[in-house]
Amino acid sequence: MKRLLPILVLLSVALAGCCDPIPPSAPTATPAPFPSSDFTPTPTRIVYGLTLKPSGIDPHINASSELGIPLTSVYDTLVYLDPERGDFVPGLAEDWDISEDGLSYTFYLREGVTFHDDTPFNAEAVRFNLERITSSDLASQKARFMLGPYERTEVLDEYTVRIHLSEPFAPLLDSLSQVYVGMASPTAVEKWGSEYQHHQVGTGPFIFAEYVPDDHLLLRRNPDYAWGPSIYQHETALADEIEFRFFVESATRSPTLEAGEVDVMGEIPPQDAARLMESEDFYIEAVPIPGVSLMFFLNTTRPPLDDVQVRQALLCGTDRQAIVSTIFRDTSPVAYGPLAANTFGYEPAVQDYYTYNPTQAADLLDGAGWIDTDDDGIRDKDGEPLVLDMVLMDWGYMREIGQLVAAQWSNLGIGINSQLVSYPEALEIASEGRHHLIPFNLSGSDPDILRKFFHSQASFNWSKLDDAEMDAWLEAAARTTDREEREALYSQIQLRIMNQGFVIPIRDYVNLNGVSKRVQGLRFDAQGWFPWLIDVTASEIQ
Amino acid sequence: MIARYVGRRLLQSAFVLWLAVTLAFLAMQLTPGDPAQALLAASGATEKEIAERRAQLGLDAPLPLQYGRYLWSLAQADLGQSWLHGRPVGQMILEQLPATAELAVSATLVGSALGVGLGVLAALRRFTWLDTAATTVAVIGLSTPTYWSGLLAILLFSLHLGWLPPTGEGDLRHLVLPSLVLGFALSGSIARLVRARIAQVMEEPFVQAARARGIPSWRVILAHVLRPALPIVLTVIALQFGFLLGGAVITESVFARRGLGKLAVEAILWRDLPVIRGVVVFGALAYVLVNLAADLAQAWLTPRLREELA
């Protein structure tokens, strides 16, 4: 690889030079305006490395985070979530009202917006998109459910549209701010049918130019773009072309970046990130991801974890800092509660719970009657050894974390039976309650995400809770749009979860992007995954 | 006569196809995990919505009905839509096919050249050290799993020597390691077959006669023995080529190549039944067709069979 380096650098210089793209509707390659910058305005091409090969990339249908990385710049959304101020700002909707009862949302749309295929954007287009997402024929895997109790969309006039819900749903604006509910050209959707995902058309700062599955995806600058939200720094995109390429093998990502084959690379493994941070030519853009932290769910219905003392012992006996240092090289923060620290509604008081204390853990286990009577190194009670079934999936460092936790617990006289399974199998095991512990994490900017894990009817109710009060709190927090009321409810919920030891939080997710120093302006949205490519540019290679 | 032969072979092929698609259907029934739940669990869909999706995918129907629908759509050459991608399965297979075909062709070429070479070498110098060496190499090829030889090859040629890229695809350089590794694995059985076949033909009276005339043994083998020994070798090569067209799952994974194997692995992980079935049907079809072609070629290459058929 080392020997290839100079050749690859030369090649990419040559490529950058010979493939000056000319925007389709501009007679000359007019450079973007640079309001306050000192770069030379030459056509810019940026190569962006993605990790997963996306499993289908129609944001209305598919669910991967990966698809949003390019497509957030192809589509605009009605509103945007400002990650710094934590509130919503206008996008394709200039303004909106929410009815008193929380059942209807009226959006006043921006005029003069056109899709990349010249279809005008208007109220009818909004209705078309929401109807498409919610039609059962589309079989949406994510967007449909982000709209919750959506009922219908009413076109009030050319630029006014009203969404009706069957019950109040606080996360609606958060959902509408995400690419999964981005506005697609009705003309293009109807024209391409089931092949639309290869011919996507939005109103965003970049045009979806070319997609070869598993190979590359090319975005080209939209020269007509002039309706971006206030959180974008430029009116039109700075870069002329952005090419996405896919690098599934984590070990190849950093070398590919260092060889100059890509300018930005997502999901750099922690050990490589630690090294790149020292580098002169690259930097690490570390983006904390809001949502549910990586944590072990403890099956509270299966002995011995039905005993809160045993659960608390496990929490005290887990050295999270050691896990974060060993596996994540301190690139991500220790998690103390079910929500990542940068999620709206996060309760900082969770940090006071369960500091690492093996002596206390041992005392708790003794108190619960688990003592090693036969001297085999494993505690036992009534002839039953203290051995727990740990179910692991082979991604997100869960396997490594499981091994480390098992090693820490073996010092406490706890045995672990671990099993490596696929995701569908883990879902089946967990729904049947055949596990003691399963680790999982999920990203999302609205704290309503807790409802997917701690409501008695939830898909991921892996702690096997059946707590009517908790259900009521979660439902109330999903219905009220009053921010303070929501915060208070989520605080109660988080404290209950930690008091009762339903989970063992391990770490907050951090998205580690390796970036060449020739790239400037890379910032990410409130989800933490999706870059605002409009502001990204690159200087010539030195 | 030839028409009847082809007709009979086609009938047999149809049976093999039916068997493959039925096994694929049954195998997925036995695999744990519910596809609708896997697709929707993270979305926040309610139990009811997941049950609706299950019904929409036809998964709530009784098994015989699901099986009947499945055969019926196959009979109409409709592979359906991927549940995960939401795209036509046929289209997705066509997209992955070039990468798989490229590897299948190059690995078969490497495997045939290496296999025939080793086999002839071993046969020429039977019961000498050269024979032992060639046979040993063949046995190693036959018995080394590609996930192991693949990693060794990456270690040696990419990381240690730095000659070739370890993973990915693109130019010919990316094709070298996977072709060598997979070709080496194929060469084992070909070499053994060639050696045995040559040994057999060597016993034939016409070979004895040629040798009695004092023709050197390398010329006897190349000019007189190889030709009658080849048809059966060709069949074996075709069998393996047909098999590879269905996707070299492990080799594709080790070298991070795209292809039908990778597609199948992803589909299995997500219980994306239409894609799994699509790949199986396609693989079985490729296998059956290549075999049919090989049999016809063999018939044509073998004068005795050619006369019988004519």
Q: Chain B: residue nearest A211 by CA?
A: B95
Rounded CA gap, A163 and A145, in Å?
Answer: 15
Residue type at A218 in one-letter notation: L
List of residues 6+ apart from B46 with CB closer than 8 A:
A457
Inter-chain residue contact B87 with A249, CB threshold 8 Å: no
pLDDT tens sequence across A23-56: 333 333 334 444 444 444 567 899 999 986 656 8
Point out the residue among A2, A145, A427 whose CB comes nearest to the CB of B37: A427
Inter-chain residue contact B44 with A56, CB threshold 8 Å: no
> Which of A78, A73, A98, A76 lies closest to A89 in space, CA to CA?
A78
Which residues on adjacent β-strands are paired with residue A384? Answer: A381
Inter-chain residue contact B87 with A62, CB threshold 8 Å: no
Q: Could you list the beta-strand ranges (E) of A77-130.
A: 79-81, 88-90, 93-98, 104-109
State mean pLDDT over A251-262: 86
The pLDDT, as a whole number, for residue A528 is 94
Of the candidate ranges A287-296, A331-340, B227-236, the one whose mean pLDDT is the lowest: B227-236
Q: Tell whether B100 is within 8 A of chain A (Cβ).
A: no
Question: Please, where are the H alpha helices in A278-422?
Answer: 308-316, 320-328, 358-367, 398-410
pTM, two decimal places: 0.83
Q: What is the DSSP string of B7-57?
A: HHHHHHHHHHHHHHHHHHHHHHHHS-S-HHHHHHGGGT--HHHHHHHHHHT
Tell me, rounded to whole angstroms, the distance of Cα A43 from its chain centroid.
Answer: 31
Q: With contacts defined as CB-CB under 8 Å, which chain A residues touch B87? A: 56, 194-195, 197
Point out the residue among B40, B85, B162 whose CB comes nearest to the CB of A1: B162
> Which of A523, A257, A526, A527 lies closest to A536 in space, CA to CA?
A523
Q: Is the pLDDT of residue B58 over 90?
A: no
Q: Is A478 exposed, middle or buried (0-12, 13-18, 19+ CB in 10 A)?
A: buried
Q: Tell whether A249 is within 8 A of chain B (Cβ).
A: yes
Least Cα separation, residue B258 to chain A (angstroms): 7
Question: Please, where are the H alpha helices in A185-319?
Answer: 186-192, 250-258, 270-276, 308-316
Point out the residue among A139, A422, A451 whose CB comes nearest to the CB of B53: A139
Looking at chain B from residue 220 to 259, which residues have their Cβ under 8 Å from any Cβ of chain A?
256, 258
Inter-chain residue contact A428 with B37, CB threshold 8 Å: yes
For B280-308, give the secondary structure using H, E and C. HHHHHHHHHHHHHHHHHHHHHHCHHHHHH
Q: With contacts defined as CB-CB under 8 Å, which chain A residues touch B34? A: 424, 427-428
Distant-in-sequence contacts of A406-409, Cβ < 8 A, 24+ apart: A408/A317, A408/A318, A408/A319, A408/A322, A409/A314, A409/A317, A409/A318
Judge contact between B294 and B239, C-beta under 8 A.
yes
Q: Residue holding tokens 């023995």?
A: B225
Q: With contacts defined as CB-CB under 8 Å, which chain B residues touch A146? A: 43-44
C-beta atoms surrounding B175 within 10 Å: 20
Q: Residue holding tokens 């002169």?
A: A280
Radius of gyration of chain B (CA): 24
List of residues 6+ apart from A325 with CB closer than 8 A:
none
Helix B273-301 and helix B2-30, axial crossing angle in degrees, nearest 10: 150
3-state secondary structure (DSSP) of residue A352: helix
ipTM computed for the complex: 0.79
DSSP B221: I
Q: With contacts defined as CB-CB under 8 Å, which chain A residues touch B162? A: 1-4
pLDDT band at A376 (very low <50, low <70, confident <90, very high): very high
The pLDDT, as a whole number, for residue A15 is 36
The pLDDT, as a whole number, for residue A514 is 96
Q: What is the DSSP string of B70-120?
A: HHHHHHTT---B-TTT-SBHHHHHHHHHHHHHHHHHHHHHHHHHHHHHHHH
Q: Residue holding tokens 């006289």?
A: A413
Q: With contacts defined as CB-CB under 8 Å, which chain A residues touch B158? A: 1
Rounded CA gap, A63 and A80, in Å?
Answer: 19
Kindly report the backbone phi and psi dihedral angles of residue B187, in degrees, each rounded to the nearest multiple of 5, phi listed first: -65, -30
Rounded CA gap, B288 and B293, in Å?
Answer: 9
Which residues on adjacent β-strands are paired with residue A512? Answer: A286
Looking at chain B from residue 69 to 88, which residues have their Cβ under 8 Å from any Cβ of chain A?
81-88
Percent of chain B exceeding pLDDT 70 equals: 95
Point out the residue among A55, A56, A427 whose CB comes nearest to the CB of B41: A427
Supply the mean pLDDT for chain A: 90
Rounded CA gap, B269 and B4, in Å?
Answer: 43
Q: Chain A: residue nearest B267 by CA?
A: A55
> Which of A537, A481, A459, A525 lies closest to A182 in space, CA to CA?
A525
The pLDDT, as a whole number, for residue B1 is 62
Of the candidate ranges A131-135, A396-400, B123-127, the one whose mean pLDDT is the lowest: B123-127
Count of A–B CB contacts within 8 Å? 119
Least Cα separation, residue B119 to chain A (angstroms): 36
Angle (CA) B131-B132-B137 rounded to 5° is 100
Rounded CA gap, A502 and A511, in Å?
Answer: 26
Check residues B115 and B258 and name the one with the higher pLDDT.
B115
